[in-house]
Structure 1
Amino acid sequence: MLRRLLTRRWLTWLLVAIIWAAACVFLGRWQWHRYEGKKLSQHQVSDNYDADPVSITSILPSKDATLSPEDEWTQIKLVGHYEPSKKLLVRNRPNDGYFGYELVIPFRQAHGPTVLVDRGWIENGRTAAAPKTVPPTPGGTVTVIGWLKPGEQAKNAKKVPGQIASINLDTINRLTGADVVTGGYLLMRSEKPAAPATQKGLASLPKPTPGTYAGINLSYALQWWAAAIGGVLFMLYRCWKEEQEAVHGPKPKKPKKVRIWDEEDE
């Protein structure tokens, strides 16, 4: 078999099998890295989502500090007051299959930096040009608890007064002059005291579920690696079979089984 394998034809097929195996190994590693990333996110959400709230300066010690992936979804507690005159609506935001707005407002802490708070989701009005209602903002001293998230990429979209296309913190600072922390913003979980109409007009955003389907990427990785081995083994099997046929001749075909109704037809 080795002599046959070293012929030009089978060396070509061997090269094809090696290229196939290398591609499968690469794709398997890619799926494995996706599996590890989703698994990390899953543990991260589980560990951070319901943990005790901490101050934002314990995660972002300076105004322009970068939020690390390990600290996303950490619960943060803020005490201070909203700046309702600087509120903005983030348009085209999905929630449970519908599109609407998210209401973001700078929150000035009594002792600490100003933080952007996403108070929740508002449905569209009669058209998508404006929301159905905008709930009032609680006045006075308020305690807000929420989850820390990184800001989003800026979008080049048409300018609408009071609206933005993404939660880009630099853009919000430029529009409002609020000087909010640029390392991340807060997705509100609760506020005390809450605005009277909050439950009517403001919907909370769903709990994140990154990593829920991490197992499917592990399955894909194992399938790609199995395909790498299977491709090489199939090529070797075909070479061995050809060698056996050359030495012993082709395997005789089994006689056709005669069915009883075939005999009756003769």
Structure 2
Amino acid sequence: MYRFLLTPRWLGLAVVAVVLAGFGLQLGSWQFDRRTERLSDNARIERNLAAPPVPLGSLGLEGSDLVDDGLEWRSVTLAGRYDEQGQLVVRNQSRDSGPGVSVLAPLHMPDGTSVLVERGWLSTATSSSGVPDTDPPPVGPVTVTGWLRADSAAGESATVPVDGTVRAVASAQVAESLGYPLLPGYVALTEQQPPPDGALAGPEPPDLGQGPHFFYGLQWWFFGLLAPVGYAWFAHVEAHPRTRSRAPRSAGRSPDTQVRVD
């Protein structure tokens, strides 16, 4: 009954069904793995956010990878003086669907090291607006509390400063333009003494959502299973064709005509 499955046409369909099934199941598993990684990252971020602030110098950041070392979003404290001439504007930083920029400045610390500090966010009229006028950082010593943030993985076209602006932050490129070394990453300011003037908005907390990976995984698994199920269904239909039987009709007589016997 199913000998037709050995024909080239059906063998080809079987191969296609197996490939599609494997493809869908593999992509579904990949999405579930992404979800597991996201949950693990969220747990680490929550621990870092809940931990009390520690002095920045105690973390030994020189040569560190903040993400690999699990330090991103760690709350830190630091003290020093801002380099007003090194202030940097990060373009295209939208919030709540509104355009804006982030303002950063290097902070020189007493031990001779320096680090970028994100002073805050400033709204702009449009995303294509020019660089807005920003107040310079305060003169004199300051004490800063903030979250450690990792450098962007964007390419040099986005991270090399041009006229004091970038599209993404990479401390190595900024350090090269400044002419002195910087610690990796930057600090997103949450508190400062003396307090900032309030013109700049503070940093946004991290997004701790799970993302769409779970539902994407289910969708890919569904599509993967659909291929062999569809193959089996069409094979069943091919093996059991539907037949329609019609009753014979008398010539010249309507099927609705009833024979009346007197």
TM range (shorter): 0.7 to 0.9
Q: Say which SS state the counterpart of residue 54 (structure 2) adopts.
A: coil
Q: CA RMSD in A?
A: 3.0
1:74 maps to: 74
Q: Say which SS state the counterpart of residue 99 (structure 2) adopts.
A: strand
The number of aligned residues is: 244
1:130 maps to: 131
Deviates more, 1:231-240 or 1:157-166: 157-166
Q: Say which SS state the counterpart of residue 94 (structure 1) adopts.
A: coil
Question: What is the CA-CA distance between 1:104 and the residue it aligns to?
Answer: 1.0
Quick check: 1:64 aligned with 2:75?
Answer: no
Q: Based on CA coordinates, which of the two structures has the bigger radius of gyration?
A: 2
Structure 1 residue runs of 4 or more that deviate by more than 6 Å after TM superposition: none
Label 1:9 to 1:88 Cα distance change in 2 as closer, same or farther (>3 A).
Answer: closer
Quick check: 1:206 aligned with 2:204?
Answer: yes
- Once the two structures are superposed, the pairs formed by residues 218-233 of structure 1 within 5 Å of their partners are 218-233=214-229
Q: Where does the alignment leave 5 or more consecutive residues of structure 1 unmatched?
A: 255-262
Give the TM-score, by structure 2 length. Answer: 0.79
Q: Select 2:177's aligned residue among 175, 178, 188.
A: 175
1 CA distance for matches of 2:220 and 2:166?
A: 43
Question: What is the CA-CA distance between 1:194 and the residue it aligns to?
Answer: 1.2
2 CA distance for matches of 1:99 and 1:2?
A: 64
Give the TM-score, by structure 1 length. Answer: 0.78
Q: Is the 8 A contact 2:103 2:119 kept in 1?
A: yes
Percent identity of the aligned residues?
28
Q: 1:195-232 deviations in whole A, cap 9, x for unaligned?
A: 3x2x1x2112322215x143x31122122223322321
Deviates more, 1:43-52 or 1:150-159: 150-159
2 CA distance for matches of 1:154 and 1:227?
A: 36
Deviates more, 1:96-105 or 1:149-158: 149-158
- Once the two structures are superposed, the pairs formed by residues 33-182 of structure 1 within 5 Å of their partners are 33-59=33-59, 61-69=60-68, 70-111=70-111, 113-124=113-124, 128-131=129-132, 133-152=133-152, 153-156=154-157, 160-181=162-183
2:6 maps to a residue whose letter is L
Q: Say which SS state the counterpart of residue 14 (structure 2) adopts.
A: helix
Q: Say which SS state the counterpart of residue 92 (structure 1) adopts.
A: coil
Q: Is the 8 A contact 1:155 1:166 kept in 2?
A: no
Q: 1:101-147 deviations in whole A, cap 9, x for unaligned?
A: 2211111223473211011112337982231x423423333221111
Q: 1:22-77 deviations in whole A, cap 9, x for unaligned?
A: 22122213322332233233223322223211233444x25232223432111111
Structure showing the higher helix proportion among its residues: 1
2:186 maps to: 185
Q: Is the 8 A contact 1:52 1:75 kept in 2?
A: yes
1:258 maps to: none
Q: Say which SS state the counterpart of residue 163 (structure 2) adopts.
A: coil
1:28 maps to: 28
Q: Is the 8 A contact 1:106 1:178 kept in 2?
A: no
1 CA distance for matches of 2:81 and 2:35?
A: 41
2 CA distance for matches of 1:96 and 1:105?
A: 24
Q: Where does the alignment leave 5 or more consecutive residues of structure 2 unmatched?
A: 247-255, 257-262
